Amino acid sequence: MRVIVIGGGIGGLALAQGLMRYGLDVIVVERDQDLADTGGYKLHLGEPSIDALRKLLVPESVELLHGSAVGTLGFSLAVRDHRGRLLIRADDGSGGLSLDVDRVTLRLVLAEGLGARLLTGRSCLKWSAEEDSVRVELDNGQSLTGDLLVLADGPNSRLVRQLATRPTTFPTGLVGVAGRTQWKDLSPASRKLLERWPMLAIGPGGTGLFATAHDPVGRPALRARRNLAASREPLAIWGLMTVEGTIPLRPDPSAPVDLSGAAADLLRQRGWTAAAVDIVRHSVKDSVGAFRLYGSDPDRLAPWPASRVTALGDAVHAMPPTGGQGAATAILDAAALADRLGAAARGGTTTVMAIHDYEAAMRGYAAEAVRESLQPVRWILGTASPAGSQLTRLALPAVAAAARLGRVVRPYRREGRKKLADRRNNFSGVR
């Protein structure tokens, strides 16, 4: 069976690894010339996606991943207001291993050993499917044929629109700006905000900021023979979310915009503490990127009958990074699909039934991840109105004071994660 995968992002590369392990013939077409070309932000992977990667990757690559990532037990988050005051400390209470890994690093690990199976610097323009085969046309005039096509080309995919015959992704109304700042360039006040836990803060005027310390060379999850971490120095990694129109999305190359400067100015104007503003302002300049945040309708994922063409990751269930689950869910997709295609290759099911079963399972766990990720978008949009802004300014100091008095440490058990783990364990069940 020959599988063509469009998109060598997190989900596409993870799938290729799994298919290779099952002995299937796979080719990945990736638009980027270099895997380090897009998105150097940090990804948080919880236990279900780490377990899925252990099934998809050869043991050496699993070790390489752990050796190039920061490991933590459980996941804690300091929810702060825009002045930096602690509102609650959220803790998932799981105690399970999670990994923080740079997206570029994860892509490099996932590309290990793919060799000529990974075609970089090539874009897929269109696809067609016959009863027994699929065909894709690339931007260099080349065409490829195979038995199965997997669209893993990220959010707002034109190729998935062709499959669904309508758009499956919508802009949430928020944009994200993400970047990195060297730890040594941070003031003591900025460091203090991030020293113990990652921070998520929501402020007035439709602004939210996530920031965390990241040191994969100094504090790797384990000492592996190689460390592929893209950043060799301790860093603060941050992501700002704000309403569309406040930050230029596609800067005019003839009049380049200082994105970190624009993001820092926005936070300052909205009354954020200097400690937070400075994390953004002192960023490594070429590390900063801006992007529109997309979502999808969790009740209508993959709205097509199963066939030889399917999709995974953000291409089928776009979700904003506000839930920190997009990459993890793309990895679960890869494991679910590889598992079923492996069964089809062994004669246990047909290819189209394998895809049907994958899509049925995916609609369940991905819908939950999409719902959880869209919730903070509603909060941020809610603070964008003049009334919401005023309410945020009035309410947050009171909540912060109550938190200080009561030393609020609130465990938050993400039911979704548990259900997600349960679904993962039931991957072989037909829904």
Ligand X SMILES: Cc1cc2nc3c(=O)[nH]c(=O)nc-3n(C[C@H](O)[C@H](O)[C@H](O)COP(=O)(O)OP(=O)(O)OC[C@H]3O[C@@H](n4cnc5c(N)ncnc54)[C@H](O)[C@@H]3O)c2cc1C
Distance, in Å, from the CA atom of 122 to the CA atom of 24, rounded to the nearest integer, reads 22
Q: How far is CA 407 from CA 191, 273, 399, 400, 419, in A?
A: 21, 21, 11, 10, 30
Window contacting ligand X (CB under 6 A); options: 7-15, 19-27, 75-83, 277-285: 7-15
Distance, in Å, from the CA atom of 198 to the CA atom of 272, rounded to the nearest integer, reads 17
Positions 279 through 318 that interact with ligand X (CB under 6 A): 291, 313-315
Among 18, 154, 208, 342, binds ligand X (CB under 6 A): 154
Please report whether residue 326 would count as binding ligand X according to CB under 6 A: yes
User: Shortest approach of ligand X to residue 249 CB, angstroms?
Assistant: 13
Please report whether residue 102 would count as binding ligand X according to CB under 6 A: no
Distance, in Å, from the CA atom of 329 to the CA atom of 43, rounded to the nearest integer, reads 12
User: Shortest approach of ligand X to residue 312 CB, angstroms?
Assistant: 7
Binding map of ligand X across residues 173-212, x = CB under 6 A, - = no contact: ---x-x----------------------------------
Among 5, 8, 150, 207, binds ligand X (CB under 6 A): 8
Please report whether residue 32 would count as binding ligand X according to CB under 6 A: yes
Which residues in 367-384 are b (16+ Cβ under 10 Å) and which e?
A: bbbbebbbebbeebbebb
User: Shortest approach of ligand X to residue 333 CB, angstroms?
Assistant: 8
User: Shortest approach of ligand X to residue 10 CB, angstroms?
Assistant: 4
Please report whether residue 12 would count as binding ligand X according to CB under 6 A: yes
Please report whether residue 330 would count as binding ligand X according to CB under 6 A: yes
Please report whether residue 220 would count as binding ligand X according to CB under 6 A: no
Please report whether residue 146 would count as binding ligand X according to CB under 6 A: no
User: Shortest approach of ligand X to residue 100 CB, angstroms?
Assistant: 8
Please report whether residue 123 would count as binding ligand X according to CB under 6 A: yes
Window contacting ligand X (CB under 6 A); options: 72-80, 147-155, 163-171, 212-220: 147-155
Please report whether residue 372 would count as binding ligand X according to CB under 6 A: no
* 3-state class (DSSP) for residue 396: helix
Sign, Cα dihedral of 222, 365, 12, 358: positive
Which residue, 302 or 400, has its beta carbon nearer to ligand X?
A: 302
Which residue, 32 or 112, has its beta carbon nearer to ligand X?
A: 32
Residue reference for tokens 């921070």: 199
Please report whether residue 44 would count as binding ligand X according to CB under 6 A: yes
User: Shortest approach of ligand X to residue 348 CB, angstroms?
Assistant: 27
Which residue, 37 or 147, has its beta carbon nearer to ligand X?
A: 37
**Residue 63: count of CB within 10 angstroms of its CB:** 18
Window contacting ligand X (CB under 6 A); options: 41-49, 90-98, 162-170, 243-251: 41-49
Report residue 383: phi and psi, to 5°: -85, -5
Ranges of H-type helices in 32-134: 47-56, 59-67, 103-111
User: Shortest approach of ligand X to residue 318 CB, angstroms?
Assistant: 8
Could you tell me how many residues of this chain bind ligand X (CB under 6 A)?
Answer: 34
- For residue 345, what is the DSSP state? H
Please report whether residue 327 would count as binding ligand X according to CB under 6 A: yes
Q: What DSSP string runs through 102-122?
A: EHHHHHHHHHTT-GGGEEES-
User: Residues 6 or more apart from 242 whose CB is under 8 A from it?
Assistant: 174, 175, 177, 206, 207, 208, 266, 380
- Give the residue among 327, 330, 305 at the shortest CA–CA distance from 316: 330
Which residue, 200 or 403, has its beta carbon nearer to ligand X?
A: 200
Report residue 39: phi and psi, to 5°: 60, 95
Please report whether residue 41 would count as binding ligand X according to CB under 6 A: yes
Number of residues that this document lists for the chain: 431
Window contacting ligand X (CB under 6 A); options: 164-172, 270-278, 327-335, 337-345: 327-335
Please report whether residue 10 would count as binding ligand X according to CB under 6 A: yes
Please report whether residue 7 would count as binding ligand X according to CB under 6 A: yes
Q: What DSSP string runs through 286-320?
A: GG-EEEEEEE--GGGSS-S---SEEE-GGGTS---
Q: Tell me which residue has its CB nearest to ligand X.
A: 9
Which residue, 10 or 384, has its beta carbon nearer to ligand X?
A: 10
Q: What are the structure tokens assigned to 169, written together?
A: 């992704």
Instruction: Provide the CA 262 distance to its chain's centre, in angstroms.
Output: 24
**Residue 90: count of CB within 10 angstroms of its CB:** 18
Binding residues vs ligand X (CB under 6 A):
6-12, 29-32, 41, 43-44, 103, 123-124, 152-154, 176, 178, 239, 291, 313-315, 321, 324-328, 330
